[in-house]
Amino acid sequence: MNQLSQPAVLADGLCKSFAAKQVLSNLDLALAPGTVLGLLGANGSGKTTLIKCLLGLFRTSGGRAQIFGEDAWNLSATTKERIGYVPQEVATYPWMRVRHVIDYTAAFYPRWNRELVADLCRRWRLPLDERSGSLSVGQLQTLGIVLALGHEPELLILDEPVASLDPGARREFLRTLIDLVEHPDRTVLFSTHITSDLERVASQIALLRDGQIEFCGELDLLKDRVKRLRILAPDALPASFAVAGALSCQVDGKLAVATVADFSPQEIDELRQTWNADVTVSDLNLEEIFVELHDSESPKLSQGELTGAVR
Ligand SMILES: Nc1ncnc2c1ncn2[C@@H]1O[C@H](COP(=O)(O)OP(=O)(O)OP(=O)(O)O)[C@@H](O)[C@H]1O
């Protein structure tokens, strides 16, 4: 694979188990440089585990994890310099004042943008003279974001970066992130439960479920596939009424409401003809899609048509 086509981040058949518990199984994911990928998954689905395997903080149980073509477990210092990481729980030296934590971190990087850091600290009102051990959880998270951005990394990996931020700080952070990702070569992978943030910032979405990436591609592609159907028949529908491949289907007299994972216009025609029904199709937002997919036992999204995914 040449430099141009080399993914910034690659998981290839990645497996991770903790004792007998398998968390990731044969997971494939590739981020082309310049991608902003939002990683979505239920609590305990393995987002942090995946991120830590990709960063070489966890040793994989099988398969490959690579950053810029290097094995994640053996990243060189040069490659590490190209990465910024905000962990779910930011840890720092509690006895150090915030400004000293920043200076200390800056010393590790040949390239450190002091102006950017000063600007972020001002905008996010970080108390520079306070000891970092006395910061609130949200302030600590803000500090973690500043530390990860100071060296202007090519690859930014954020594990629920806004979980503890207040709405104002979250908006500021998203604004900054949007500015940052305008740089065409900057790759961002971030996990969050706040789907509206993903919709604003991410160019691609990856859904993690059952240890694998269930979907990876553009949000619009996902929205094109998962649709809600409202089926109104002239007579009461039988209790056994079902829509093939539906994630959910509720029947109430003449009306059925179903959510399908692989929407096709032909299916609508069939429903219209079979039941002489009036069928309307509506879009779902990302949160609704996530809940539908999460609540359904099966089927999952079929993998065949993932044109937006980088594989
Ligand atoms: N060090 C560890 N030892 C044993 N089990 C672990 C370890 N780290 C994670 N796990 C388990 O792996 C599974 C996935 O955890 P992980 O933290 O990756 O999920 P997550 O998707 O990030 O969850 P959340 O959204 O709640 O942050 C969980 O069942 C967790 O208990």
Q: Where does the pLDDT of residue 264 fall: very low under 50, low under 70, confident under 90, or very high at 90 and above? A: confident
In this prediction the ipTM stands at 0.98
pLDDT of 240 higher than 50: yes
Q: Where does the pLDDT of residue 115 fall: very low under 50, low under 70, confident under 90, or very high at 90 and above? A: very high
Q: Which atom of ligand 1 is nearest to the CA of 49?
A: 18
pLDDT of residue 262: 84
Amino acid at 57: L
pLDDT of 302 higher than 70: no
For residue 246, give both structure tokens.
């539906």
Tell how far CA 299 is from the center of its chain.
22
Q: What is the pLDDT of residues 31-63, one digit of tens each?
A: 999 999 999 999 999 999 999 999 999 999 999
Kindly report the protein residue whose alpha carbon is nearest to atom 3 of ligand 1.
Answer: 18
Tell how far CA 117 is from the center of its chain.
25
Instruction: Name the percent of the chain lying above pLDDT 90.
Output: 63
- pTM assigned to the model: 0.89
Tell me the C-alpha distance between 98 and 134, whole Å. 10
Q: Can you list the alpha helix ranges (DSSP code H) found in the chain? A: 47-54, 77-81, 98-106, 114-123, 137-149, 167-180, 195-201, 219-225, 265-275, 286-295
- Candidates 167, 251, 182, 197; CA nearest to 40 is 197
Substitution site in 25, 47, 89, 141 for ligand 1 pocket (most atoms within 8 Å of beta carbon): 47
Substitution site in 23, 24, 194 for ligand 1 pocket (most atoms within 8 Å of beta carbon): 23
Torsion from C-alpha of 61, 64, 66, 72, nearest 10 degrees:
30
pLDDT of residue 308: 37
pLDDT of 100 higher than 70: yes
pLDDT of residue 298: 59
Tell me the C-alpha distance between 60 and 80, whole Å. 18
Q: Where does the pLDDT of residue 303 fall: very low under 50, low under 70, confident under 90, or very high at 90 and above? A: low
Higher pLDDT, 201 or 299: 201
Average pLDDT of the residues in 119-145: 93
Residue 97 DSSP one-character state: B
Distance (Å) from CA 90 to ligand 1 centroid: 17
pLDDT of 98 higher than 60: yes
Burial of 78 (0-12, 13-18, 19+ CB in 10 A): exposed
Kindly report the protein residue whose alpha carbon is nearest to atom 6 of ligand 1.
Answer: 18
Domains of the chain: 9-219 (3.40.50.300), 227-283 (no CATH)
Distance (Å) from CA 79 to ligand 1 centroid: 26
The mean-pLDDT minimum among 64-73, 223-232, 236-245, 275-284 falls in: 236-245
